[in-house]
Amino acid sequence: MITGISATLSMASSEYLSSRSEGNPNAVKSGLYTGAVYLLTVALLVLPYLLLPVEGYFIALAIMLGAVILIMLGFTYYISVAKDVPFLKRFGEMAGISLAVAGLSFLIGIAVKHFLGIEI
């Protein structure tokens, strides 16, 4: 959760700086919206791990991945309508990359737990 909050602050400030450098008069608003959406996303992704027992981490992973897919569906639909781009192609790319990164991160966590004996 701490990492998610830190990432939220980083994304919000980066969006503010990016918007400001582009001359956007609503840079603060843009940064706040980005931070709010990012924090909500982090909360949705972490929630299964907080609610389920430690032994249920595979179930929590499945629930989290389902949440990821739903979030990406909503975001991709919005972008495809707003920018008139193909939905399935963009969704497939986002889903493939995101799920590969999530899977790799999970495997790294399992390896660290196994080899270093760290239990969080």
Residue 12 to residue 78: CA distance in whole angstroms: 20
* Residue 69 shares a structural domain with residue 43: no
Mean pLDDT, to the nearest integer, of 99-103? 87
Q: Please report, in angstroms and rounded to a whole number, the separation of the first and last CA atoms in the chain.
A: 13
pLDDT averaged over every residue in the chain? 91
The pLDDT tens digits for 21-43 are: 999 999 999 999 999 999 999 99
What pLDDT, on the 0 to 100 scale, is given for residue 120? Answer: 63
Mean pLDDT, to the nearest integer, of 100-115? 89
* Residue 58 shares a structural domain with residue 34: no
pTM: 0.73
Mean pLDDT, to the nearest integer, of 10-15? 94
* Residue 27 shares a structural domain with residue 79: no
Domains held by the chain: number: 2
Question: Residue 12: is it exposed, middle or buried by C-beta count within 10 angstroms (0-12/13-18/19+)?
Answer: buried
* Residue 37 shares a structural domain with residue 11: yes
The pLDDT tens digits for 43-98 are: 999 999 999 998 888 899 899 889 989 999 999 999 999 999 999 999 999 999 98
* Residue 73 shares a structural domain with residue 116: yes
What pLDDT, on the 0 to 100 scale, is given for residue 106? Answer: 82
The whole domain housing 3 covers 1-51
Predicted confidence (pLDDT) at residue 119 exceeds the cutoff of 80: no
Asked if 109 contacts 60 with a C-beta cutoff of 8 angstroms, the reply is: no
Residue 90 to residue 2: CA distance in whole angstroms: 30
Closest Cα to residue 49, out of 38, 62, 30, 33? 62
H helices of the chain, in order, are 2-21, 27-51, 57-83, 87-116
Confidence label for 99 from pLDDT (cuts 50, 70 and 90): confident
